[in-house]
Amino acid sequence: MTAAQMRPRIRPTFAGAWVRRLALFFVLLTALWGSHPALAGQLDRAGIERYFPAPLVVGERDGALPVWPILKQEAGRYEVFAYAFESIDLAPIPGFGGTPPDLLVALAPDGTFRDVKVVSHHEPVFLEGLGSEPLFAFVEQYVGLSARRSIRVGRPNARGSGASAETTVDGISMATASTRVINESILGASLAVARAKLGFGAANVGLKVEARPDADESLSVADLVARGWVRRLTVTHGQAETAFRDAGMDPIDDGPGDRPLTDLTFAYLNVPAIGRSLLGPDRFAALMRELGPGDHAVMVVSHGSENPLGEDFVLGSIPERLAVTQGGLAVNARDMAIERRGAAPDLPNGPWTILRITGAAGFDPSAPWTLRVKLVRERGQILSEKIVREFSADYTLPATLFIREAAEAGPSWLDPWRARGPELGVIALALAGLVPVLAFRRGLVADRRRFAIFRLGFLAFTLGFIGWYAQAQLSIVTLVGLVRAATVTHDLAFLLYDPPSLLLWAFVVPTLVVWGRGTFCGWLCPFGALQEFTAWLAKPLRIRPITVPPRLDFWLRQGKYGLLAGILVAAATGSPLADTFSEAEPFKTAITLYFVRGWPFVAYAVGLLVLNLFVYKGFCRYLCPLGAGLAILGRLRVLDWIPRRAECGSPCQLCKVRCRYGAIAPSGRIDYPECFQCMDCVTIIQDPQQCVPQVVAAKHGRRIAPRPVPAE
């Protein structure tokens, strides 16, 4: 046989019937693209009131934004307690199932989260998987955090391991992509409301402002006061009495009205000329080391008769009666809980605090800002009522003391790519190593012993690293998400939140055109690898495989195509049956959740593995909807890459007998949509000690006359 006859044959045309079917499918998919209305929130006033019962009051929905003001009565009038909205109205980011989660968010006027609740979701890992309870607990972490900060999803127990409790929420194992999408949905919707209602960062979005390190000189407190770099906020007894008298309260102090009641001295410390002069070189250097990148520090010294910090003030907390505001909005400022010593001797005596403002707060120290202090009085003895009055002093520093530059920004989906860089690198190296092995059939594949060891090791890597560790089991859920994206959300961004799976898809799709379905199903499917390892138990257990009759085998193989059609039609029509039918895949149970799931799902997955002992890869051959989808797309394959001899099928049947997938016809023709690329037949045909035609030819000392390869 000539070398030309042993080469893979390039198909002159695509399989015409299947191309027409695929074209029709994509035409229908395109027609469905705009046929569904955009998703919208599902709560009306009655629904919102169930989440915010009395004494809270739900106000009128905003005319411009789908936002409900939640009101609370205070000091005889209604104040805005929170703005409530559904994330799907403002940031409909598709989840891993292709449908955006719907979260009810209550955002306080100062930008903190009052509450976050899950209204609905279609995240596969939480639907009949982990259950919804871990998701409910996940969103509860946002309560008390600030929308001004860049909140990130860490690893499980990240906050307990030292991550900032103000900017990090604990992730959930096996739900990395879903939790990141939910985080972005919450923050994206909250930012839209904050900019419209609260004005967050309107002048400082994408801008980084830092004190110039060379703005340094030795100054006294008097010099700093003269320049306006140290300011004073004084509230006299007379001013306080006047303010509370306007609220209908009787005077409680008959002394001189010009006596200071609250007296505060405050300054911005990041500018070296200010911070070093007030704290001294050593304490200033320690402060700068403790501050995070982009953070700011404000010093407040209290030397009046009434200390706004209070006797029960806890270091490290947010002072209830002190606030830093900019543009009329409160900036989250928290006590730094550092040692109170080393201040300049000519500062007024009294308790003091250093308030930290994180870089995520959008605070611009080069722009005017305000320090506010609250004075509180109570009236009434039985049902006492607190009356609050605020006093303030403005603060401005010269713009020449600061460096202003554009802050680095990037899309939110970059975070998981950065976090999972090492995993992606390992998977990419493995894929790069697999390609030459599969492409050069006269290399490692021709060595029966070495290739068996390589295949075993790669399948172990697929199961252990790609599946159980990196959680990159490809699934029909992705195809469901694509259909939902085409028909409902028109957004494919959900794919970017699961980098390992997207990397595998980027590899698998081109290989469909080159080799067909087998590259994924035979090498990169973790559950497929698990089945192969399980099949080894058949021999020690003395289980003889069952040979399915050819006619029954043919009809059973059509089952996976019917299941695929049912799932995709249900997804396209918006039916929840798509998620139910997708449970035909045991991937979530066996790989994503490590068999930690409800007993019916575990029994089903284990049952498929037991079936595998009798009918090799029975699930893959008869039930797998993802395999069916890949088989259909694999019909666009341009190569008949498995070498054949004229004697294959007549008279030699060795490859057909050895093929445990039933992918070789008696004629010797390869059924590529059913081929799992195990390469056994390639090894046989390259091995002169196994290939029957070569063995016979060598035995008789002659060459076999070449004959044409049968066409498909």
pLDDT at 194: 82
pLDDT digits (tens, 9 = 90+) for 604-626: 999 999 999 999 999 999 999 99
The CA distance from 638 to 195, in Å, is 53
Query: What domain range is 94 assigned to?
Result: 45-198
* Cβ count near 651 (within 10 Å): 9
pLDDT at 371: 92
Domain boundary residue, one of 406, 432, 448? 406
Asked if the structure places residue 457 within a domain, the reply is yes
Domain boundary residue, one of 136, 166, 198? 198
- pLDDT(81) > 60: yes
The CA distance from 595 to 584, in Å, is 15
234: helix, strand or coil: strand
pLDDT at 30: 43
Confidence of residue 169 (pLDDT cuts 50, 70, 90): confident
Task: Return the minimum-mean-pLDDT range out of 34-48, 266-280, 560-574.
Answer: 34-48
pLDDT digits (tens, 9 = 90+) for 576-595: 788 888 889 999 889 888 88
Asked if the structure places residue 663 within a domain, the reply is no
The CA distance from 214 to 371, in Å, is 26
The CA distance from 523 to 455, in Å, is 8
pLDDT digits (tens, 9 = 90+) for 664-710: 888 888 889 999 988 888 888 888 888 888 888 877 776 654 344 44
Asked if the structure places residue 513 within a domain, the reply is yes
CB 470 within 8 A of CB 422: no
For 606-671, the three-class secondary structure string (H helix, E strand, C coil) is HHHHHHHHHCCCHHHHHCCHHHHHHHHHHHHCCEECCCCCCCECCCECHHHHHCCCCCECCCCCEC
- pLDDT(459) > 70: yes
Q: What is the overall mean pLDDT for the chain?
A: 81
Mean pLDDT of 482-487: 79
pLDDT digits (tens, 9 = 90+) for 653-667: 888 888 888 888 888
Asked if the structure places residue 651 within a domain, the reply is no
Confidence of residue 466 (pLDDT cuts 50, 70, 90): very high
Residue 79 dihedral angles phi and psi, to the nearest 5°: -115, 155
pLDDT digits (tens, 9 = 90+) for 312-328: 667 767 787 888 888 76
In a 13 Å sphere around the CA of 491, the CA atoms on its Cβ side amount to 18
pLDDT at 509: 93
CB 309 within 8 A of CB 322: yes
Share above pLDDT 70 across residues of the chain, in percent, rounded to a whole number: 83
The CA distance from 335 to 350, in Å, is 16
The CA distance from 40 to 62, in Å, is 16
The residues that bridge with 375 in the sheet, in sequence order, are: 389
Confidence of residue 528 (pLDDT cuts 50, 70, 90): very high
Return the axis-axis angle of helices 499-514 and 421-439, rounded to nearest 10°: 10
pLDDT digits (tens, 9 = 90+) for 210-252: 889 888 888 888 999 999 999 999 998 888 888 877 666 666 6
Share above pLDDT 90 across residues of the chain, in percent, rounded to a whole number: 24
Are residues 95 and 117 both part of a single domain?
A: yes
Domain boundary residue, one of 641, 673, 694? 641
Are residues 352 and 258 both part of a single domain?
A: yes
Asked if the structure places residue 698 within a domain, the reply is no
pLDDT at 703: 60
The CA distance from 415 to 688, in Å, is 53
Enclosing H/E stretch for 402: strand 402-406
Mean pLDDT of 94-109: 84
- pLDDT(164) > 50: yes
Total structural domains within the chain: 3
pLDDT digits (tens, 9 = 90+) for 108-159: 888 889 999 999 887 878 876 677 888 899 999 999 888 877 788 887 877 7
Structure tokens belonging to residue 634 = 């694999």
The candidate with the shortest Cα–Cα distance to 361, out of 579, 569, 578, 208, is 208
Structure tokens belonging to residue 108 = 């306080």
Are residues 467 and 497 both part of a single domain?
A: yes
Select the more confidently predicted residue: 294 or 552.
Answer: 552
pTM (two decimals): 0.62
pLDDT digits (tens, 9 = 90+) for 408-429: 555 667 777 887 889 999 999 9
The candidate with the shortest Cα–Cα distance to 42, out of 130, 146, 142, 120, is 120
Are residues 262 and 381 both part of a single domain?
A: yes
pLDDT at 19: 45
Asked if the structure places residue 711 within a domain, the reply is no
CB 660 within 8 A of CB 617: yes
Mean pLDDT of 459-478: 91
Pairing of strands 168-169, 207-211: unpaired
Mean pLDDT of 547-572: 90
Confidence of residue 628 (pLDDT cuts 50, 70, 90): very high
Select the more confidently predicted residue: 203 or 350.
Answer: 350
Are residues 66 and 19 both part of a single domain?
A: no
Confidence of residue 380 (pLDDT cuts 50, 70, 90): low
Are residues 168 and 252 both part of a single domain?
A: no
CB 586 within 8 A of CB 626: no
Asked if the structure places residue 691 within a domain, the reply is no
Q: What are the distances in angstroms from CA 430 to CA 454, 457, 533?
A: 12, 11, 20
CB 590 within 8 A of CB 601: no
Confidence of residue 29 (pLDDT cuts 50, 70, 90): very low
Are residues 428 and 459 both part of a single domain?
A: yes
- pLDDT(562) > 70: yes
- pLDDT(11) > 60: no
Are residues 20 and 60 both part of a single domain?
A: no
Confidence of residue 497 (pLDDT cuts 50, 70, 90): confident
The candidate with the shortest Cα–Cα distance to 359, out of 210, 187, 479, is 210
Asked if the structure places residue 303 within a domain, the reply is yes
Are residues 96 and 187 both part of a single domain?
A: yes
- pLDDT(10) > 70: no
Are residues 323 and 448 both part of a single domain?
A: no
Select the more confidently predicted residue: 17 or 176.
Answer: 176
The CA distance from 11 to 380, in Å, is 92
Are residues 362 and 436 both part of a single domain?
A: no
Are residues 477 and 580 both part of a single domain?
A: yes
Confidence of residue 571 (pLDDT cuts 50, 70, 90): confident
In a 13 Å sphere around the CA of 574, the CA atoms on its Cβ side amount to 11
